A and B are shown apart, each in its own frame.
Chain A
Amino acid sequence: MQKRVALLTNGATHSNAKDDEMSIKKHVKLGLSALALSISFNSVAAEDPIRVGILHSLSGTMAISESTLKDTMLMLIEKQNEAGGVLGRQLEPVVVDPASNWPLFAEKARELLAKEKVDVIFGNWTSVSRKSVLPVIEELNGLLFYPVQYEGEESSQNVFYTGAAPNQQAIPAVDYLMNDIGVERWVLAGTDYVYPRTTNKILETYLKDKGVAAEDIMVNYTPFGHSNWQAIVSDIKAFGGAGKKTAVVSTINGDANVPFYRELGNQGIDAADIPVVAFSVGEQELSGIDTGPLVGHLAAWNYFMSVESDANYDFIDAWVAHTGNEEAVTNDPMEAHYIGFNMYIEAVKKAGTADVDAVKDAIIGVSVPNLTGGFATMMPNHHITKPVLIGEIQDNGQFSVVWETPSTVAGDAWSDFLPGSKDLISDWRKPLFCGNFNVVSGTCGAQANVANK
């Protein structure tokens, strides 16, 4: 192309001296071809970038967890653009701040879809914020990738759940404690909101199905940000002193974990006596404490920063380079965004367009590598396949994997251990195309509100 242009211009200068008419003609020709060139260039440049909405709190209580996810998304988009974008289009991030305010999440989602015209949204952390944006996403037919482990009991055609459902985290963790550690007495401790309450309900049913007596289960809820754990930890100690092997299953959320673990350490509860398995404690939370006294306590996730795989080491290197902080840590929801983002890119490639309905159809069945050395596949119920890992806390704030499921586990939107939900399935492929199909009555939407009960 360049050569030809050069020849043309050469020709023009030669002919210029000879004949004016010719030169005019040539000039017109040249002008035209230049015009054509510029038009064709324009049409490439004019192809709009794919707009990626990022809906994570950058201020307020949840900023502690969510702001790193915003940075993760920016990093992923930057990398993708360096690699040439997708379908020849660049990706453009649109960042908004819902400020840890649940109703504001809905407003900001509306702003992203209606005003900013984004093609896809990556966002949310808490379940209540997800429930808040759900009607907006469905009304305006958007796409939302939700990266955090949650209580299940939900399936929307517009939402993709890249975090763990209870059967991808809580149930395998309890199985591990029961079979490998021999736990007989259970403390279910959680923060007082929907995720811990639903998860604990599922676990209680599951444990009773397995023959655990009611008096061997202790349930305890604490408010958000609870900081005075003395009495509760001492209660747990007494509960565990009854001669049977005891474990704590913790759905304690966010900040409250630091004083909880500190109190455990101070009261001398050793992981060998009463192990605590946590579903909300990751590398990020541990970076706020001295983990010396916590060595051996457990966490169940689908990814740990300490996983020994090249994909993971590359991801960590990229993250350290992006943040410019040698101590920066990675965690499970970041991996979920990594998977979700790559799935979206693959689905856009497969569909040949960023059109929402086309991507929604194309993404089911898409497989991308995860960071633990395997693959994640998007299932028809909009959940993905994940390996389940159990890690023990180390003195450097990292986890060492002590157990993992032999293969990946597919996320189950509707728990098999809750009445009313166990008959439901979700399948967003045609012809079923239903998020809550009751296999007993054969109807769709029969129990749409089971999660709200």
Chain B
Amino acid sequence: MSTSKLLGRALFACFLLWAGDLLAQTEDAEAHQLLTVLAESSSTQKKAAVLQIAGSGDVRSRGWLESFANNKLGRIESSGQFIIVLENRGRNWTVESALTGENLGEISRRDIDTVRVNNALRNELEGILSVIDLKSPEEHSRLTAARALKGSVDGTLAERLPELMNDEKSDAVRAALTEALAIYKVEEQGDVAAVATLSGSLNSEARAALQQAMRSDDAALVAAATEAMASIEQKLTLNRAAETLYFGLSLGSVLVLAAIGLAITFGVMGVINMAHGELMMLGAYTTWGMQQLMPGQPGLALILSIPAGFLVAALAGVAIERTVIQHLKGRPLETLLATFGVSLILQQLVRTVISPLNRTVITPDWMSGSVMINEALSLTLNRLYVIGFALVVFAGLMLIMRKTRLGLEVRAVTQNRAMARSMGIKATKVDILTFALGSGVAGLAGVALSQITNVGPNLGQAYIIDSFMVVVFGGVGNLWGTLLAGMALGTINQLLEPWAGAVLAKILVLVFIILFIQKRPRGLFPQKGRAAEG
């Protein structure tokens, strides 16, 4: 740690001597020499070689260092020519010349020696690149660079920072720079005035600096730092609570998605469908299939997978209903065993036809990463979308069940089949449609799950038990119950996990449900009235 930091300092100092402009271009022979030194020195000496390149002032050096940091700088073994790798998948790589930028086409991997980089070097390189980026015309890259500087400012840079801050137009960048400077001042100079800047900061480097200040001999500094830390701790606790709640809701929404289709087939129709998980798997594979059909447009493919996944799973559901379930009406044990068999068949079918290996489903850019609320709390985007999606699906289902003719008929048939039929409702047709609806929703769940878990033949198995748990806990036949139960179980699980561990948390939730069902056999929201007795 200390050596790398020291080297980092030397580097910044040297670097800032020329950081003014990047206009010159060295002779190609000289540039080739610089890169040769980099390629041939051992990993400990590479830092010096990087310094030399940075100090050369060559306009291409940023590109070299960036591709070096990304492990994309290499050399052709036979000719010794330096290259930048553009595409590095498979056995042949697409490359361009590092010196001239000329595209050299595909070259066999056997003939390419990459210039090795490691984490420590990458850290140094990031430092250099962020100093360069502080002068970038784009606000976004300046902000990223300023944030990256927190905790790695050195003496030379600290002298230059006020000047940079004066020229800075963006408030956010200036705030980040101020904080970076304050961390340096607290850490290195024990500056009491700077402590106030850090008060309330959620940055982990700032916290480390304050903790260090609390151990110092200067009583005034210790008092100021302790006070600042107290306010930070308070904020952190709040953020932790908000984060846990978010985790709980996001796990809950996954459970709701997985269970809500089951709430219809099991809850409303009374069919125990063990192949429910595999219907979800089909939905997830549909997403994968759509992305294969539309290469380069993962986002559009994902959106189109929503109706496609629904249709595929619904059709599979109808096939299961017609071939298996309708012949076993009123025999729950046989239905359970038969649908379990169907689930195994579907799994093996996917294994044989597609592959036993997991498939890669691409997460579109607008769904990856996270929204930063503050430096201690950021909400992961894919989960945020899943929460929203779960709520939309739930609302849609409620609408169908409450406001449409189909919903009315479904409710009629489930409450009293004979009476409904005598009123002219085609019970068989309603059965098919209901099962198709429940299965289709399982397909939707699969589409959502493809974004947060593995798409493989075992996807369904992981969720079937949880789905039944949610439906039973919420009260069979009640969609609101399913929503509440899913969210509650998710939150309880996430509350328990930090101190009980994942395995024990799961067990505790199960025990809790068993005890709860003992007390209230019909779940959170039992069905009332004569229909429930039937």
* B1 engages A255 (CB within 8 Å): no
Q: Name the CB-closest residue of B to A230.
A: B247
Cβ of B43 under 8 Å from chain A: yes
B169 within 8 A of A: no
B497: nearest chain-A partner, CB-CB: A231
Partner of A290, one of B88, B90, B207, B362: B362
- Beta-carbon contact of B89 and A400 below 8 Å: no
With A61-B458, A221-B501 already in contact, the answer to whether A255 and B358 are too (CB < 8 A) is yes
Complex contacts, A258 vs chain B, CB 8 Å: 358, 453-454
Q: In the complex, A439→B429 CA distance in Å?
A: 77
A200 to B120, CA, bound (A): 26
A403 to B457, CA, bound (A): 36
Does B123 belong to the interface (CB within 8 Å)?
A: yes
| CB-based nearest A residue for B209 | A243
Measured between alpha carbons, how far is A177 from B88 in the docked complex, in Å?
28
Which residues of chain A are within 8 angstroms of B58 by Cβ–Cβ distance?
Answer: none
B204 interface residue per 8 A CB criterion: yes
B383 at the interface (CB under 8 A from A): yes
Residues of the B chain whose Cβ atoms lie less than 8 Å from the Cβ of A295: 70-71
- Chain A positions 210-257 with a Cβ under 8 Å from a chain B Cβ: 220-223, 225-228, 230-232, 234-235, 238, 241, 243, 245, 255
Instruction: Output the least CB separation between B374 and chain A (Å).
Output: 13
Task: Tell me whether A259 and B363 are in contact in the complex, defined as CB-CB below 8 angstroms, given that A222-B502, A243-B211, A271-B119 are known contacts.
Answer: no
Interchain CA distance A241-B358 in the complex, whole Å: 34
Partner of B502, one of A221, A266, A293, A392: A221
CB distance from B344 to the nearest CB of A (A): 9
Also in contact, A232 and B497, with CB within 8 A (given A327-B89, A394-B88) = yes
Say yes or no for A357: interface residue by CB 8 A criterion. no
B119 A288 Cβ-Cβ under 8 A: no
Question: Which residue in chain A gives the minimum CB-CB distance to B383?
Answer: A230
B85 to A, closest residue via Cβ: A396
**Which of A64, A180, A396 interacts with B358 by CB under 8 Å?**
A64
Which parts of B185-239 form the interface with A (CB within 8 Å)? 204, 207-208, 211-212
Chain A residue nearest to B204 (CB atoms) is A241
CA distance A223 to B507 in the complex (A): 11
B 98-113 contacts with A by CB, 8 A: 109-110, 113
Interface residue B117 (Cβ < 8 Å from any Cβ of A): yes
The answer to whether A223 and B453 have CB atoms under 8 Å apart is no
Residue of B nearest to A67 (CB): B356
CB pair B458 A181 closer than 8 Å? no
A448 — which chain B residues lie within 8 A by C-beta? none
Q: Once bound together, how far apart are the Cα atoms of A132 and B392, in whole Å?
A: 48
B452 touches A221 (CB 8 A): no
Q: Check: B353 CB closer than 8 A to any chain A CB.
A: no
Identify which of residues 476-524 in chain B touch chain A, using a CB-to-CB cut-off of 8 Å: 493-494, 497-498, 501-503, 506
Bound together, the chains give a CA A281 to CA B15 distance in angstroms of 38
Q: How many residues of A contact B (CB 8 A)?
A: 66
CA distance in complex: A378, B161 (Å) = 61
Find out whether the CB atom of B250 lies under 8 angstroms from the CB atom of A59: no
Shortest beta-carbon distance, B433 to chain A, in Å? 32
A284 CB within 8 Å of chain B: yes
Q: How far is the CA of A284 from the CA of B357 in the complex (A)?
A: 9
What is the bound-complex CA distance between A339 and B90, given in angstroms?
A: 24
B119 in contact with A259 (CB, 8 Å)? no
Q: How far is the CB of B317 from chain A (nearest CB, A)?
A: 24
User: What's the nearest-Cβ distance from chain A to residue B468, in Å?
Assistant: 17
Closest to B93 in A: A396
When chains A and B are docked, how far (Å) is the Cα of A245 from the Cα of B119?
13
Are A401 and B116 within 8 A (Cβ)? Answer: yes
Q: Is B369 an interface residue (CB 8 A)?
A: yes
Contact with B along A380-402 (1 / 0, CB 8 A): 00000000000010111110111
Inter-subunit contact B116/A400 (CB<8 Å): yes
Q: Is the CB of A222 within 8 A of B70?
A: no
> Does B243 sit at the interface, judged by CB under 8 A?
yes
Also in contact, A394 and B120, with CB within 8 A (given A192-B503, A268-B370): no
Contacts of A290 in B (CB 8 A): 360, 362-363, 368
Q: Flag B118-156 by CB within 8 Å of A: 1 or 0 each.
A: 111011001000000000000000000000000000000
Q: Is A272's CB within 8 Å of the partner chain B?
A: yes
Cα–Cα, bound, A400→B121 (Å)? 14
Nearest-neighbour CB distance to chain B for A246, whole angstroms, equals: 11
Q: Is A313 among interface residues, defined by CB-CB distance under 8 A? A: yes
Residues of chain A contacted by B458 (CB below 8 angstroms): 61, 225, 255
Contact residues in B for A209 (Cβ distance below 8 Å) = none
Instruction: Name which residue of chain B comes closest to A393, CB basis.
Output: B71
Q: Which residues of A contact B (CB under 8 A)?
A: 58-59, 61, 63-64, 67-68, 180-182, 192, 220-223, 225-228, 230-232, 234-235, 238, 241, 243, 245, 255, 258-259, 262-263, 265-268, 271-272, 275, 284, 287-290, 293, 295-296, 308, 310, 313, 316-317, 320, 326-327, 392, 394-398, 400-403
17 A-B residue pairs with Cβ-Cβ distance under 8 Å, sorted by A, are A220-B501, A228-B251, A231-B247, A231-B497, A234-B247, A238-B240, A245-B1, A255-B358, A263-B380, A266-B381, A266-B382, A266-B383, A272-B123, A288-B454, A293-B368, A395-B70, A395-B71
The 8 A-B residue pairs whose C-beta atoms are closest, nearest first, are A63-B356, A266-B380, A230-B247, A288-B358, A402-B118, A222-B502, A243-B208, A227-B453
Contacts beyond the supplied A181-B120, A231-B497, A259-B454: 14 A-B pairs with Cβ under 8 Å: A64-B456, A67-B356, A181-B119, A231-B494, A234-B243, A255-B456, A262-B452, A272-B123, A288-B359, A288-B360, A293-B368, A327-B90, A400-B117, A401-B116
